[in-house]
Structure 1
């Protein structure tokens, strides 16, 4: 007898996502639901002031599965996630950023299938950048591709670098264990480490495609790439010294990535490595404090992404 379908809810915390939120919601609604029953799509507005709430409310009138929550306050992503966790009654809760879209009609199916394995508490989808339409965009994307090659090959994808903030799913039993510490930013990595501490399993769902947009200028690229690494010391205080090994990747995986990606496109490889080197030579300080729960918006990533199916 076939197992009963798992139930799933989607949680989206948004701040000024009027450009893309409709596309994201349609990419969820259009999903093939072979493996799951979709119970709710929670959209929680975090002090949005660009009309995102008005647009979502109109869509909620058309699709009753969409639930809008809006108290008009700006609290920050982590506090909003904690609120979403309290709302969840489904077998699986999937957290998405507002500036992404699901890349295929079977994306959620691929995520849910991972939870069929015993002991899997946390699953990350595979976020990939949309194609760059400028040379700078292509160079930035190729640097992402090089790193993707590394994190995909190491430990079959089971590593802290694949716990992606923008597209992560949790088993219901795991959701109830989470109490975020204040002022963390990389909640995907926090959840990964918590999962490891609980002796439970993480899966990187390679075939669960999520599309997002990288910055199209150097300043915002620096903001986005440097931000997540500020949590490492805080995580060590929370979990202990054992987490240091979770950040280590053997040299052979990096060399393999260099060989493969250089062979595929020498020009973009050299350009992306040069860009990384140049960025490291100049000091950069974000406007947002690393202790702030409210993050600085990366404007160029907020352009709408077309639903590809």
Structure 2
């Protein structure tokens, strides 16, 4: 019988009290062809009850561990910490504000990374939380229309599919690099490193369902837009040069046909999302700037509850 690969899960967490228990519950119930050795939660300057909730959960789940040095360094630094501490063959990293929809999600990611020895990173496919309120409906349809385009670009294997809140790496690969402390787009940095001289370096596990919440406020939409439209790309050129921007290229016909498709499926919400996306490009939120690799939180996407 083929030996099951060992797996550690790392969670860089900043003020995730609203969702961390739900996430841990979906992680400890995962089943499949792997041996889960540890779930490591690394607090990044938490000022809420994240630490207390994890410690309480760990009383009945001994594989759950927590580290908290009371300092705020940003996600990239915490990922470096998780990578350095990992001793497993595979390393899954998950943000604290997501959920795994079924008990097979990690197994699907493991299977994807095992298909090709050249694949070092696997991205999970995200599924938006049911929308509540007008802005969130706009936000969900905006995501779904863009995802439609992403899945048709290079069969889903592109910069946009590695969103960063749910990914899996080979442990050996995670030891080969560190994130610069001021990088603000850890997922794009990871993608660039993984595909360097290796076109099969990153793959999308298309059948996975990782639930996340889109932003629910106009302010958070503007913060997120400032990051995804401009700052992420500018920051990446600091480390890889202007040539890296070619990786973001998407043929116009793909994005336009995806938008038309969703205009037919959801005309009101798609129209609203287009208007908001035009607005954030014309009037970027100048106060939304990263400081030492740390962004302003988009708090409206943190709680995955229907209450």
Does TM-score exceed 0.5, indicating one fold? yes
SS in 2 for 1:23: helix
Aligned counterparts, 1:105-144, within 5 A? 105-116=103-114, 117-144=116-143
Name the counterpart of 1:72: 70
Q: 1:52 & 1:284 partners in 2: Cα distance?
A: 29
Deviations 1:84-142 (A, max 9, x none): 01111111111111111112211101111111122100111012220111122111110
CA drift of 1:205 comes to 1.0
8 A contact 1:100–1:305 mirrored in 2: no
Q: Is it true that 1:265 corresponds to 2:273 in the alignment?
A: no
Name the counterpart of 1:256: 257
TM-score (normalised: structure 2):
0.93
8 A contact 1:123–1:205 mirrored in 2: yes
User: How many residues get paired?
Assistant: 303
Aligned counterparts, 1:181-196, within 5 A? 181-196=180-195
CA drift of 1:282 comes to 2.3
Q: Which stretch shifts more, 72-81 or 292-301?
A: 292-301
8 A contact 1:168–1:188 mirrored in 2: no
CA pair 237-284 structure 1, distance change in 2 beyond 3 A: closer
SS in 1 for 2:152: helix
Aligned counterparts, 1:47-86, within 5 A? 47-86=45-84
Q: Which stretch shifts more, 100-109 or 291-300?
A: 291-300
Q: 2:271 & 2:246 partners in 1: Cα distance?
A: 29
8 A contact 2:90–2:169 mirrored in 1: yes
SS in 1 for 2:117: coil
Name the counterpart of 2:236: 235
CA drift of 1:255 comes to 2.8
Q: 1:74 & 1:241 partners in 2: Cα distance?
A: 30
Deviations 1:143-185 (A, max 9, x none): 1111111111100011101111211111112101121123111
Q: 2:144 & 2:10 partners in 1: Cα distance?
A: 27
Aligned counterparts, 1:1-309, within 5 A? 2-32=1-31, 34-116=32-114, 117-199=116-198, 200-228=200-228, 229-287=230-288, 289-305=289-305
Q: 1:238 & 1:120 partners in 2: Cα distance?
A: 23
CA drift of 1:198 comes to 4.2
Q: 2:138 & 2:163 partners in 1: Cα distance?
A: 21
8 A contact 1:101–1:305 mirrored in 2: no
8 A contact 2:184–2:294 mirrored in 1: no
Give unmatched runs, 5+ long, in structure 1: none
8 A contact 1:192–1:202 mirrored in 2: yes
TM-score (normalised: structure 1):
0.93
SS in 1 for 2:272: helix
Q: 1:70 & 1:279 partners in 2: Cα distance?
A: 36
8 A contact 1:76–1:294 mirrored in 2: yes
CA drift of 1:275 comes to 2.1
Q: Which stretch shifts more, 272-281 or 174-183?
A: 272-281
CA pair 259-295 structure 1, distance change in 2 beyond 3 A: closer
CA drift of 1:262 comes to 2.1
Give unmatched runs, 5+ long, in structure 2: none
Deviations 1:13-39 (A, max 9, x none): 11111111000000001112x221111
CA drift of 1:241 comes to 4.2
